[in-house]
Amino acid sequence: MKGIGVVLGVLFISLMLLTGCQSMFETTIPLKSSDISVSLNAVTLNVVKQTIELSWTASVPTAVVKYKIMVGTTDPTKAPPQDLATWTFGTLVTPSVLTDIPVSSLSDGTTYYAQVVTYDKGGNASKASNPLKFVYKGIVSEISRFGQFSGLGGLSIDRSGLVWTTADGLIVRYDPANPTATLTTFGPTEQLYPFEVLADNNGKVWVTDANARIFRFDPADFSGTLTQIDLGISGLQPVCMALDSSGKIWLSDFGGRIIQFDPANVSASVTLFGTSGTGSGQFQSPFGLAIDSQGLVWVAEPGSFWGGDDSSLISFDPTDFSGTFKRYSALLPFRIACDNEGKIWISSLIGRLMRFDPENPDTLTTISLEGVAYGLAIKGTTLSLTNNTKIKTFQINTSGTVIATAP
Task: Read off the pLDDT of residues 29-49 as tens digits, 9 standing for 90 and up.
Answer: 344 555 667 777 777 776 656
Cβ atoms within 10 Å of 137's Cβ, excluding its own: 16
112-116, 219-223, 306-310, 379-383: least confident range: 306-310
Q: Give the pLDDT confidence of 307-353 residue by residue, as tens digits.
A: 455 788 999 999 988 777 888 887 789 999 999 888 999 998 888 88
Rounded Cα distance, 362 and 376, in Å: 23
C-alpha distances out from residue 175 to 158, 170, 268, 358, Å: 11, 16, 35, 32
Rounded Cα distance, 217 and 205, in Å: 5
pLDDT at residue 92 is higher than 50: no
Region 65-85: what's the mean pLDDT?
65
| Best CA proximity match to 143, nearest among 103, 105, 106, 108 | 108
Pairing, β 401-405 against β 132-137: antiparallel
C-alpha distances out from residue 341 to 161, 363, 379, Å: 19, 15, 12
Region 172-182: what's the mean pLDDT?
82
Give all domains of the chain, ordered by start, each with its CATH number: 5-137 (2.60.40.10), 141-397 (2.120.10.30)
Q: What is the pTM of this model?
A: 0.70
Q: Which amino acid is at 76?
A: P
72 burial level (CB within 10 Å; 0-12, 13-18, 19+) = buried
Rounded Cα distance, 337 and 54, in Å: 35
Q: Which amino acid is at 66?
A: K
